[in-house]
Structure 1
Amino acid sequence: MASNAGDASNGAGEKAEKVPPRKVSDYSNVSQVENKASKENPLLDEEQRRRLEASAKLENPLGDLTPEQLGQRGVEFCAKHGLTDEADIRAFRLGAMIAGDMNRYDTIDELTPREREVLDRELTHKWSNPKMLYAVIVICSLCAAVQGMDETVVNGAQGLYKEQFGIGDPESQRDSWLLGLVNAAPYICCAFAGCWLTEPMNKVFGRRGTVFVSCFISAAACFWQGFTNTWWHMFIARFALGFGIGPKSATTPIFAAECSPPKLRGALVMQWQMWTAFGIMLGYVMDLAFFEVPDLSGIIGLNWRLMMGSALIPAVLVCAMVYFTPESPRWYLTKNRHVDAYKSISQLRFEKVQAARDLFYMDTLLQIEKETMNLGKSKIKEFLTIRRNRNAMLASEIVMFMQQFSGVNAIAYYSTEIFIDSGFSTQSALVASLGFGIVNFLFALPAFYTIDTFGRRNLLLTTFPLMSIFLFFTGFSFWIPEGTTAHIGCIALGIYMFGVVYSPGEGPVPFTYSAEAYPLYIRPIGMSLATATTWLFNSVISLTWPAMVQAWTAQGAFSWYAAWNIIGFVLVLLFLPETKEKTLEELDAVFDVPIRSLVRYGVAQFFYFWGHYILRRDIAPPKAPSAAHAVEYSEHQFGKEKTHDGTNRV
C-alpha cells in the first residue's frame, strides 16, 4: 500500500516538481471523497460499503484534517506516549503536518534548511539514506542468500551421498522416491509447519528475533546434515531445516519493508528474490569448490558433507549481525512500545522530523487496521465469502502455484543430475549448473525496471509461452544422438534460455503480487497461505522429479512442465488482473468484480493481441473491468477497425 508520506517523486536523480500547497478549505470535502466509490454503486450491500470505506480511510487516513489539527495531533501523540523532550514534540508536530498533507512541506516555515534538504532528497535521491537502513538491507540480503544456498547445495551433494546411503540405483523405483523424499524434506516441513509458525514467532520474538531464531535453526540443521550417515537421518536433518526456511522466507521481506521509507519499499521487496537467486548461484559455487576434496582421517564423503554444511556460513553471519540493527518500528507499535519505536525509526532516518512523520503515519494506519479487523466475520471465512478477497486469493494462489509448476526447481535441485544424464562428466555438470545459477541471478536484475513498467500480468503472459517453448526444446533435445556436441549443447541451451525468461517473470512476480493483492487487514494470513502454497508444491516437485524421469524419461518430464506453462498462461489470462501502479482503493475495484468479467476481459485481450500484433490491424484495446462498471466484451467488438478520423467501421 502506498504511503501518503513521500509519494510524489519523479525518480532518483531528477528534481521533483513542487506540488502547490493545499489551503485549509481544500480539506472540507475529503471525507466525502473517501466514500465516493461505495456511494456511486447502489448495488453494494452495507457490509461491502463499510469495507470500501475502510479501504478508502486506509488510503488517506488524515485527509480530512487541517494542518493545524494535524499539528495538534502530533503534540497529543507525544503527550500520550511519554515523549517529553521539546525537540521530539516539535518533530511530531511538524511531522504530523507533513504526513497528512501528502508530503507537501513547502509552506511549513519552521523547518530548518537541513530538514528541507533532507526532505527534498527523499524525492530526488531516494537511495540516499542512513547507513543503519542499509545495514538492515544487508541483513535481509544475507537471509535471502541463506535461503538460496539451503535450496541448492543439495544439487551437487545428492549425487555423492545417494551412493553412500544406498539409494543410488537408477533402475530402482524405491531409490528414486527416497532420493526425492530426502530432497523435499525441508519444503514439506515449510508447507505444513514452518510457514504457519511465522505469526506466533513474530508476536513473541519480533522481526529481528524471528530472523535470528530461523537463521540459527538453518545453521544448526546445515551443520547436522554434514554428520548424517543414512538416508532417514538426512531426511530428519533436512526436515528440521524447514523450521528455519519457513519463518525466514515470510518475515524477512516484512522486516525490510517496515524499516524502509515509502519510496524504497517496492525495491526492497524485490531484494528478496534477487538475493535468493544469488544464494542459489552461491550454492552451485560451493558444490564445485568442494567436489574434489578427498576423504581425510577415515571420514567418508567429506566433499558432500562440506557442501551441505557450507550453507551455515551466511546464516551464522546473520545471527552475529542482526541485533546490531534496530527492530522494526511497526512491531514495537503493535506492542504499544512507542518510545522504543521512535528510537528505532530515528536510527533509520536522517532527521527527527522524518522519523516522527513516518512513525505518526504508521501508528495512524495501525489504529485503522485494528478498527478494520473488527468488520464482521472471521478472517478465514472472508477468503471465500467476500468476492474481493476471494479473487485476490485466486490470483495469488495461481502465481504461487505456477512459480513451482513452471518447473524451475526441478532444474534448480536436479540440474547436476540432468547434465550428467545428458553426457556431462560430474565436474562438468557442476560447472554447467553454476552457469544456470549465474543466468538466474543476472536476469533477475532487469525485474527492478520491468515489473513496474511492463506490469505483472504482461510479464507473465509474455514469459509463460517462452518458458514452455524452452522446456519442450530441452526435453526434445534428449532425442538427439548421445555423445554428440549438439545433444549436450541443445540441452544446456534450453535450460539456460528457460532461466533467462523465468528470472524476470515468474521469479519476482509471485511474491510481489501476493504482497499487494490482499487488503491490509487480512494480508498476514494471505501471505502465510501464499508462502505455504509455494513450499507445498516445491516439495511435490522435489519429491517426484527422480521418479518422473525414471517413468517418463527426460523428454516426458520436461514436456510435463512445458504443458503446465501453457496452462499457466491461460490461468493468468483469464483470472489475473493487473496490479501495477494501483493504490489500495483502486485494487478494491480491480478485484471486486465477477469472475466472468475477468474471463471475458482475458478472452477479449487475447483477440486484441492476436488482431493487433499478429494480423497488424488497428483496433482499440479492451478496457479492464472494475467494480464500478463491469464491461461486457464480444469478438464482434474486435472486428471493428478505427478509421483515420477516429470513428469505427466493421
Structure 2
Amino acid sequence: MADEKKTSSDISDSQSPPTATHGEKGRKQSVFDIDISDREHLNAHFENPLAGVDDTQLMRDVETFCQQYDLMDQLDNMKKGARISKSPNTVAEADFLEPAEKDVILREKTNKWDHPFMLYWLCTMCSLAAATQGMDETVNNGAVAIYTKILGITVEKLGSQQQVNNIQGLVVSAPYLACAVLGCWLTEPMNKLFARRGTIFISCMVAALASIWEGVVQSWPNLFVARLFLGLGIGTKSATVPIYAAECAPARIRGALVMQWQVWTAFGIMIGNIMGVAFGGLRPNLAWRLILGSTVVMPLICCAQVYFCPESPRWLIQNGQHKKAFQSFQRLRNTDLQACRDLYYTHIGVELENRINKGKNFFSMFYDLFAVPRNRRASLATWIIMFGQQFCGVNVIAYYSTNIFLDGGYSLNSALLASMGTGILNWVFALPAFFTIDKFGRRPLVIFTFPFLAICLLWTGMSFFIDPPPPGSEISHSKPRVAMIITGMYLFECFYSPGMGPVPFSYSAEAFPTHVREVGMSWATATLWAFNFVLAFSFPSMLTAFKAQGAFGWYAAWCLVLWVLVILFLPETKELTLEELDQVFSVPTWKHSSYQIKNSVWHIRRYIFRQKLEPLPPLYQGAEKFNRI
C-alpha cells in the first residue's frame, strides 16, 4: 500500500527505525552531532536523529524545549513522545507508557485511518484544490474549438495560418508560461510571507478571478492576459498543496494523502471535459464563456474552507510559533501524546535543516542542486521525469483533443463527448496508482508504460491516413477512421494514468535531500510547466506543418527517447530510506548508465533468447532492494 511505504514526504518528521548509522557510532552527546561539510550524505542525519542520543541528555533537551516555548504543561507527554520517536519499534515493551497510551500508539499501525475529522476536512480541501488545478487545465479544450472564430483567431483576420497557430498556441499555453517563468518561483517567498493556508487561499482566489475574467473577455489579447494571470495561481498551488498535506498528515498515511494530488487533479481534468459537454450545445458565444467560467466554483469553495483548517505545524515551527504548532497538531491527532511526539520530532528536523542551511539563501541552495554530485544526479533524474510527463504527449490530448476529434470527422457535440471520455479514463485509471506505484516501483512502471504510450500515439496518428469523410458530412462513430482515432487516444489514457501520471511528482519529492527539497521541487515543477508551455504553444503549428500523423509521430518518438533516458539515468527510489537514497544517488552517472546497459542486454538474452546466465553483480552494495531494475 502506498501509505505504508517510506516516501520522501516522511523525511522531516517520519518515525523511522534506528539505522546502523546511529547505532554503530555509539552514543551521541547531542542530536546535532553532525558533519555538515559532508553534503553528499546529509540525508543520513535525518533518518532518525534521536536514535543514539543518551536518554538523560534527551530528557534534558526536552525540558529545555518546553521551557523555551512555554509548553511546560505538556512536559510529561513531551518526554514520552521523544522516547517513542527515539525507539518507535519498541513501544510494546516501553515501561514508561500507560497501557492506554501504548494502545493509542500501537493503534496507529492496526487502524491507520483512525484520525480526527479535521484531518479529513483538510484532505477534502486539498482534493478540491487539486481538482481546481485539473479543471483549469482542460476547460479550454472544449472552449478553444468555439472561441477561435468568435475572437477573430482566423486566417481572414490575421492573414496567415502560421499567425493563427501562434496566437492559438499562445492563448492555450499562457498559464503554463506564467507558471514556469514566475508562478513556481513565487512559491517559496509566498509561503514565507503568507504560510501554507494563505498561499493556497491567494492562489485559489487568483484562479477564481481569472475564471470570471476569461468568461467576460471580448478579444483574444484580453483572453491571453487573463490566462497569464491564471498561471500565477496554478504554479504556487501545484507546489504548496502537496507540501501542506504532507506536513499535516501522520507518517503512516502521508504517502497516500500526497498521492491524492494526482488522483484529484485527474478528477478535475475529467470535470473540465464534462463542462465542455454540459455547455457546448448552447449558443456559441455563450457556450465557451460558460465553459471557461465554470472553473470559478471549486476555488471559491477552497477559499471558504482553507481557514477552517489548521496551519501547517511544520511551517509554524519554522517560524518560531511552537505553541500554535502544538495546537495545530492537537486538531490533527487523536491525543496530546501523539501531538507532543510529532511536535518535538518535527522541531528536531527543522533545527537540523536550519543548522545545515545556516547562512544559505535560495540562490545558494539552488547552486547546491548542481554543485553537489549527489544533488546533481537527483536534479537530472527529476528533470527527465518531469520533462517526460509533458513530452510523452499527454497534454496534447488534454488541451487539443476536441480539435483533434473535429479533424478526425466528428461533429462538435460528438468531439466534446469523445473528449469527455479521455477525461473519464484519465481519472478512472489514476485510481489504481494508489496501489501500483508502491507495488511495482517508480522506475519499472515508467519503463513498462513508455513503449505502450509510443504505440498508442502512433496508432492515433496513423489512423488519420484512413480515408476521411466527405467535407460537411456527419459520419457514424462506427466508421474505421473515427473508431481507430478514439481507440488510440483512449488506450493512451489507460496506460498513462497509472504510470506517468503519478510517478513524476512522487519521484521528485523523494529524490532530493531534505535540506534542499523545497528548492528542488521548485526546479522540478518549473521544468514541468516550462515544457507544458512548449507543448501547448507548438502543437497547432505542428498539426499544420506535419499533419496529425507527423505530430503524433513526433511525440511517439519522444516516448522512445524518454524510455532510453529512464533506463540509463533514473534510479529506483521505492522503499528506500534517506540514507539509502544518498547511497543510490552517490553512484556516478557513467557507472549507473553503463550498468543499466549491461542489465538491459542481460534481460534480453535471458527472457527473449532464453539463455541461461549468471546474475549480474549488484550495482549497489547492501540490501537486495537496492538492485531492482
Same fold (TM over 0.5): yes
Q: Residue 332 of structure 1 corresponds to which residue in structure 2?
A: 316
Deviations 1:282-331 (A, max 9, x none): 0011111111234xxxxx71111111011111100000010000000000
Map of 1:212-223 to 2, 5 A cutoff?
A: 212-223=201-212
Map of 1:150-165 to 2, 5 A cutoff?
A: 150-165=136-151
1:551 pairs with 2:545: yes
**How far off its partner does 1:122 sit?**
0.8
Deviations 1:355-394 (A, max 9, x none): 1101100000111111111498932322222110110000
Q: Residue 516 of structure 1 corresponds to which residue in structure 2?
A: 510
The CA distance in 1 between the partners of 2:494 and 2:178, in whole Å, is 30
Query: Residue 413 of structure 1: which of 381, 399, 412 is its match?
Result: 399
Q: Residue 604 of structure 1 corresponds to which residue in structure 2?
A: 598
Distance 1:105 1:71, change over 3 A: farther
**How far off its partner does 1:60 sit?**
2.0
Q: Residue 333 of structure 2 corresponds to which residue in structure 1?
A: 349
8 Å contact from structure 1 (residues 518, 526) kept in 2: yes
Distance 1:47 1:116, change over 3 A: closer
Distance 1:180 1:159, change over 3 A: same
Map of 1:238-637 to 2, 5 A cutoff?
A: 238-294=227-283, 301-374=285-358, 378-483=364-469, 485-623=479-617, 625-626=619-620
The CA distance in 2 between the partners of 1:512 and 1:436, in whole Å, is 23
1:180 pairs with 2:169: yes
TM-score of the superposed pair, with normalisation by structure 2: 0.91
The CA distance in 1 between the partners of 2:96 and 2:602, in whole Å, is 55
**How far off its partner does 1:70 sit?**
3.0
**How far off its partner does 1:125 sit?**
1.9
Deviations 1:207-261 (A, max 9, x none): 0000000000000000100000111000000000011001000000000000001
Q: Residue 29 of structure 1 corresponds to which residue in structure 2?
A: 26
Distance 1:189 1:341, change over 3 A: same
Q: Residue 474 of structure 2 corresponds to which residue in structure 1?
A: none
Moved more, 604-613 or 341-350: 604-613
Letter in 1 for 2:413: Q
Distance 1:584 1:66, change over 3 A: same
Deviations 1:177-218 (A, max 9, x none): 111110000100000011110000000000000000000000
Q: Residue 77 of structure 1 corresponds to which residue in structure 2?
A: 65
The CA distance in 1 between the partners of 2:27 and 2:39, in whole Å, is 18
The CA distance in 2 between the partners of 1:225 and 1:316, in whole Å, is 16
8 Å contact from structure 1 (residues 5, 103) kept in 2: no
Deviations 1:142-164 (A, max 9, x none): 01000000000000011111110
The CA distance in 1 between the partners of 2:177 and 2:145, in whole Å, is 21
Deviations 1:408-430 (A, max 9, x none): 00100000111111111111111
The CA distance in 2 between the partners of 1:102 and 1:112, in whole Å, is 16
1:192 pairs with 2:205: no
Letter in 1 for 2:114: S
- Mind listing any 5+ residue stretches in structure 2 that lack a counterpart? 1-7, 470-477
Letter in 2 for 1:222: S
Moved more, 207-216 or 127-136: 127-136
The CA distance in 1 between the partners of 2:618 and 2:405, in whole Å, is 44
Count of matched residue pairs: 598
Letter in 2 for 1:51: R
- Mind listing any 5+ residue stretches in structure 1 that lack a counterpart? 9-20, 39-45, 295-299, 634-650
**How far off its partner does 1:620 sit?**
4.3
TM-score of the superposed pair, with normalisation by structure 1: 0.88
**How far off its partner does 1:30 sit?**
5.7
8 Å contact from structure 1 (residues 195, 246) kept in 2: yes
The CA distance in 2 between the partners of 1:208 and 1:65, in whole Å, is 35
The CA distance in 1 between the partners of 2:142 and 2:370, in whole Å, is 43
Distance 1:53 1:249, change over 3 A: closer
1:146 pairs with 2:112: no
Letter in 2 for 1:536: A
**How far off its partner does 1:623 sit?**
4.9
Q: Residue 84 of structure 2 corresponds to which residue in structure 1?
A: 98
**How far off its partner does 1:610 sit?**
0.8
8 Å contact from structure 2 (residues 195, 315) kept in 1: yes
8 Å contact from structure 1 (residues 470, 495) kept in 2: yes
The CA distance in 2 between the partners of 1:26 and 1:214, in whole Å, is 45
Moved more, 205-214 or 168-177: 168-177
SS of the counterpart of 1:550? Answer: helix
SS of the counterpart of 2:39? Answer: helix
SS of the counterpart of 2:94? Answer: coil
Letter in 2 for 1:265: R
Q: Residue 133 of structure 1 corresponds to which residue in structure 2?
A: 119
8 Å contact from structure 1 (residues 6, 103) kept in 2: no
8 Å contact from structure 1 (residues 71, 92) kept in 2: no
The CA distance in 1 between the partners of 2:380 and 2:36, in whole Å, is 21
SS of the counterpart of 1:311? Answer: helix
- The higher relative CO (CA closer than 8 Å, separation ≥ 6) is in 2
The CA distance in 2 between the partners of 1:173 and 1:462, in whole Å, is 37
The CA distance in 1 between the partners of 2:255 and 2:552, in whole Å, is 34
Distance 1:383 1:277, change over 3 A: same
8 Å contact from structure 2 (residues 28, 53) kept in 1: no
**How far off its partner does 1:91 sit?**
1.1
The CA distance in 1 between the partners of 2:85 and 2:232, in whole Å, is 39
8 Å contact from structure 2 (residues 40, 373) kept in 1: no
SS of the counterpart of 2:72? Answer: coil
8 Å contact from structure 2 (residues 36, 42) kept in 1: no
Q: Residue 5 of structure 2 corresponds to which residue in structure 1?
A: none
**How far off its partner does 1:68 sit?**
4.4
**How far off its partner does 1:26 sit?**
7.1
**How far off its partner does 1:52 sit?**
4.9
